[in-house]
Amino acid sequence: MAQYARLVTGSELRDETVDLLSRLIRVDTTNPPGNETAAAELLREYLEASGVACELYAKAPERANLVARIPGGSGPSLLLLSHTDVVLADPAEWSVPPFSGEVRDGEVWGRGALDMKSQVAASAVAVASLAREGFRPSGDLIFAACADEEVGDGLGLEWLCEAHPEAVRASFAVNEGGGERLELADGTRVYQATVAEKMTAPFRLRVHGRSGHASMPRIADNALVSATQLIERIAAYRPEPQLGPEVEGFLRAILGDVPLASDAVERVAEVSPAAAALVEALLAPTFAPTVISASQKRNVIPALCEIEVDCRLLPGQHPEHVEPLIRAVLGGDVEYELEWIEARGGTRSALDTPLWRALGEFVAGVEPGARAAPLTCPGFTDSHWLREAFDTVAYGFFPASGEMPPEVAASLVHSADERIPVADLDLGVRWLRHAATALLA
Ligand SMILES: [Zn+2]
């Protein structure tokens, strides 16, 4: 397997990845409306030039998903998963045009540079370069660049898993959602990889009152004022912290031991202040009131106020587990109705797997003494659909080189001046080739 890594010099693949990423950024796939077919066509042309067979799957013609494959033997398969859509970019906020794909001072600039056309490009280059070298995998090596991840209207991987399961069924998958490189207080380097995710379970609270003219407030019962009491109670609530296997693995990797859940945030802050806020969000469900609607007229006291709460549950938790907790927090003195809006995600993959070992090997080879640390992803990713449909072992891992501090990268995702160091693309393509050759040799 190592022979493949030696066949090509790093700089050729790095330049190929930079070029492909710039071209992908120049295809505007802002979702909505998406228009991912244009990106899928570009990828098809690139991959077919290296002899990789591609198929476009589209529920709506302009929203195509691309699946490419180097067919292998009967062994376990590996899917390099990514999405081609991006979120809105307002040019007025940017220092370069957001769809320029410009390379400047060792960085590629543009919407999607981090989330996640970088990994789309690196995955495509990994597969294309292996195909050119005549790589014969023991199981299929699959590349899927999916539509509609950012909005989730059922046109992307969720739909593929249902309508074309044979196209994307895989034993292992590498997706977005991890790879941050932490420098601990003692100098140790740790690369985060996400192996589970929280469940997105938003709910709505409906508070009733009685309308009336706002010039005489006492004649009415203001639902907006009653609702503020509920908002304050939710905001003040601190659920009991608890440790799941992923956070335990993370604590062991960065602290050398597993502290009590109640001490975890403080202990992490001592070695990595950057990781403390993240760990805090992974110890318990979170509740963030984000949307409110009441009267549409200033002089009318509202009889109804609706609040939407962004709620994220721990892997394995479900709405019915936390609803009694929420009701206890809200109390019995304000009348309200609670309605769950949706519940998706919350799946996890095992840690004792060949993919985890490949990841650990890679990290140790990148920097002497560096370690991989598992973690839960606080948000939702497409890994969920694979775990749910096929029990795929799916990890989020696209390693950062450390040229850009992780807090800077985090602040640029979905924001202005999104960009990625060329060094990260270089490392990323090497990781994806390593994953393929280590698992499918
Ligand atoms: Zn993304």
Quick: pLDDT tens for 145-181.
999 999 999 999 999 999 999 999 999 999 999 999 9
The pLDDT of residue 1 is above 70: no
The pLDDT of residue 244 is above 90: yes
Q: How far is the CA of 22 from the centre of ligand 1 (A)?
A: 17
Percentage above 90 pLDDT, the chain: 96
188, exposed or middle or buried, with CB in 10 Å at 0-12, 13-18, 19+?
middle
pLDDT score of 192: 97
The pLDDT of residue 7 is above 60: no
Q: How far is the CA of 47 from the centre of ligand 1 (A)?
A: 22
Q: What is the pTM of this model?
A: 0.92
Report the run of H or E that residue 325 belongs to, with start and end. Answer: helix 319-330
In eight-state DSSP terms, residue 391 is -
Q: How far is the CA of 382 from the centre of ligand 1 (A)?
A: 9
For the segment 288-295, the average pLDDT, to the nearest whole number, is 96
Residue closest to 373 by CA, chosen among 358, 360, 354: 360
pLDDT score of 274: 85
pLDDT score of 10: 64
**Helix (H), strand (E) counts: the chain:** 15, 20
pLDDT score of 5: 42
111-139 burial, b if ≥16 CB within 10 A, otherwise e? Answer: bbbbbbbbbbbbbbbbbbbbbeeebebeb
Q: How far is the CA of 176 from the centre of ligand 1 (A)?
A: 6
Q: What confidence tens digit (pLDDT) does each residue in 58-109 have?
A: 999 999 999 999 999 999 999 999 999 999 999 999 999 999 999 999 999 9
Report the run of H or E that residue 410 belongs to, with start and end. Answer: helix 406-412
Gap between the Cα atoms of 399 and 419, Å rounded: 15
The pLDDT of residue 255 is above 90: yes
Gap between the Cα atoms of 400 and 323, Å rounded: 39
For the segment 298-314, the average pLDDT, to the nearest whole number, is 97
DSSP E strand stretches across 169-237? 172-175, 181-183, 189-197, 199-200, 203-208, 212-213
Q: What confidence tens digit (pLDDT) does each residue in 372-388 have?
A: 999 999 989 999 999 99
Q: How far is the CA of 342 from the centre of ligand 1 (A)?
A: 20
Q: How far is the CA of 394 from the centre of ligand 1 (A)?
A: 15
Q: How far is the CA of 113 from the centre of ligand 1 (A)?
A: 10
Q: How far is the CA of 366 from the centre of ligand 1 (A)?
A: 25
Q: How far is the CA of 24 from the centre of ligand 1 (A)?
A: 15
Gap between the Cα atoms of 404 and 423, Å rounded: 10
For the segment 242-254, the average pLDDT, to the nearest whole number, is 96
Q: Which residues pair with 287 in a beta bridge?
A: 311
Q: Which amino acid is at 287?
A: F
Q: How far is the CA of 115 from the centre of ligand 1 (A)?
A: 5
